[in-house]
Structure 1
Amino acid sequence: MNGLLTDDERLIVGAARRLGLILSSDWPDVAAHLLAQGADGKGVSELAGLPRAASPWLVDQLVPNVLAELGIQEMPVKEAGDLVARFVGQVARVRPEGDEFAAIRFLARLAPDLDYPGGFIGDAYYASEWLDCACHGNSPERDAAIALESALRTTDPLDIDAGLLQAVTTTWF
């Protein structure tokens, strides 16, 4: 049963899992938040009951069952990346005191481990080359980076519970 989870919550959990952004030690906390929101199933309950220090081998075996119980489908890397980019832009928008290119920098760090996918992650990787070079202060590349960060920060917000959001992004920022 899917409980009271929003489609956006299911999607972000699936996208974060696809991109390897949820550590094994974080999955019990993610499952606990899913359970608290009304998700149910044997896998969700079992994973939520594990301590953070549980063996990654044990945790990683339970995750596919949890995703299946919640109706979370495997998605292509580009689709997952674009969804995570939308979410990262949302977070950057509500944390304006940080780096003016926080979303680009975060997404660019993902590119090498994901074999430089297209979409927002690929765009961010390319744009990140121009952020810290004084010689490109007024260049078309810098202007494109500014436009990309702006686009990321103005996407439609995702409907995600604050507790689940914190559990999923523990190691992101």
Structure 2
Amino acid sequence: PAWAELPACDPEPRALGLTSRHLAYVIYTSGSTGTPKGVMVEHRGVVNLGLAQIGLFGVGSNSRVVQFASLGFDASAWEMIMALGSGAALHLPADELRQASAELSDYLRSESITHATLPPALLQASRSAEYLASQALILAGELPKAELIRRLPAASVI
């Protein structure tokens, strides 16, 4: 329809027949067992995950969350929901920063990032671990080595 034909405000979800069980997004599996498969995520699942992570990780309106995960991974949705659902700032580093541990460390410091979900291997090779030791650090994607955990004695590591 033409722009002028669109409603002046958003219609009520109930008027459209929408419920919490409707599709929010589709994310695809890695395909490690064959063909990648689409996983349908409902709105209620997104909301419940967001509320749980906001509470567990202590994300608030003064928080600064880095969007580290590629948009093709489910963790990217978690990062966005955690930030936007709490009123926190969502920081989007350039793609090349995601691969370079030294530059990522500088970025985390310069942007005063308070919450980061990062793979342990990246932290193992970077100075980010020490900076994030006083922040909320969520390790994901693989099992961290004991040496890395010992470097983070004051961290809120999950």
TM-score range, shorter chain: under 0.3
When normalised by structure 2's length, the TM-score is: 0.27
**Which protein has the bigger strand share?**
2
**Which protein has the bigger helix share?**
1
Relative contact order higher in (CA < 8 Å, ≥ 6 apart):
1
When normalised by structure 1's length, the TM-score is: 0.25
